[in-house]
Amino acid sequence: MDVTVGVDFDSVQLVDVSRHFGRRRALANISLTAGAGDIVGLLGPNGAGKSTLITLLATLAAPSKGEVRYGGQPASRLGPALRTRIGLLAHELHLYPELSARQNLVFFAELYGLDPRGLVDAALESAGLTDRADDAVNGFSRGMRQRLALERALLHRPRLVLFDEPFTGLDDHAVGLIADRLRALAAAGAIVVLATHDLDLADGLVTRVALIRNGRLISDEPAAPGLRARYRAQVGAH
């Protein structure tokens, strides 16, 4: 597929980004850089603006002020081809419940201009759904759907991997699987941005921590032991 040629980047940069909806401020003057191999944890209470930030990074929304740069280039200059390098797993799973697991994967693989043969089988296997491949998604448990959604989001091997609360409603085993997957992606050179309000899960997984409260970035530092205590100190008063 020719559109992908030439678009790649090894860093994502938010430059003084603000986003508001009328009178409600979602994000204010956020500057943040993430590079290849990073697992950036966007931490903060619900409604802090994490989802909005993920949406901006995914090019689904435009900032009210400021700019999002991919490898130094603004999104507007890179065009649709930029989206071949971005993968998003949101809380809503981006799956068609009426279709089977295989149909979902084949559709999205083709939408990204990929050859579904082999690719889809591999994805089904890594989701552990090989024997349920032709069942409709609406018969799946939350965990199965989540695994399928994860594979769907990573089908096209994105450089920038965006996760918005991916652990909601999952058991420990499933959480462990996703965490391992994230580490492997980062090791392979992906930029991972993970928004969550769950500190226990973020602790030990992320390499950088960005704390967000009321749409403002209140700290941005490498991950270190004692995340919980510092989070309490800075956000806990909320």
Complex with other proteins: residue 68 or 179, whichever CB lies closer: 68
Q: Please report where in the chains the tokens 């919980």 appear, as a residue.
A: 228
CB of 226 to other proteins, least distance (A): 29
CB of 54 to other proteins, least distance (A): 11
Q: What is the DSSP string of the chain?
A: -GGGTT---SEEEEEEEEEEETTEEEEEEEEEEEETT-EEEEE--TTSSHHHHHHHHTTSS--SEEEEEETTEEHHHH-GGGGGGEEEE-SS----TTSBHHHHHHHHHHHTT--HHHHHHHHHHHTT-GGGTTSBGGGS-HHHHHHHHHHHHHTT--SEEEEESTTTT--HHHHHHHHHHHHHHHHTT-EEEEEES-HHHHTTT-SEEEEEETTEEEEEEE--S-HHHHHHHHHTT-
Complex with other proteins: residue 25 or 183, whichever CB lies closer: 25
Binding site for other proteins (CB under 8 A): 1, 3-4, 20-25, 28, 55, 58-62, 80-84, 86, 88, 90, 92-99, 103, 107-108, 110-113, 136, 152, 214, 216
CB of 20 to other proteins, least distance (A): 6
CB of 127 to other proteins, least distance (A): 17
Complex with other proteins: residue 90 or 182, whichever CB lies closer: 90
Q: Please report where in the chains the tokens 């490498």 appear, as a residue.
A: 222
Complex with other proteins: residue 22 or 225, whichever CB lies closer: 22
Complex with other proteins: residue 62 or 122, whichever CB lies closer: 62
CB of 103 to other proteins, least distance (A): 6
Complex with other proteins: residue 127 or 179, whichever CB lies closer: 127
CB of 222 to other proteins, least distance (A): 27
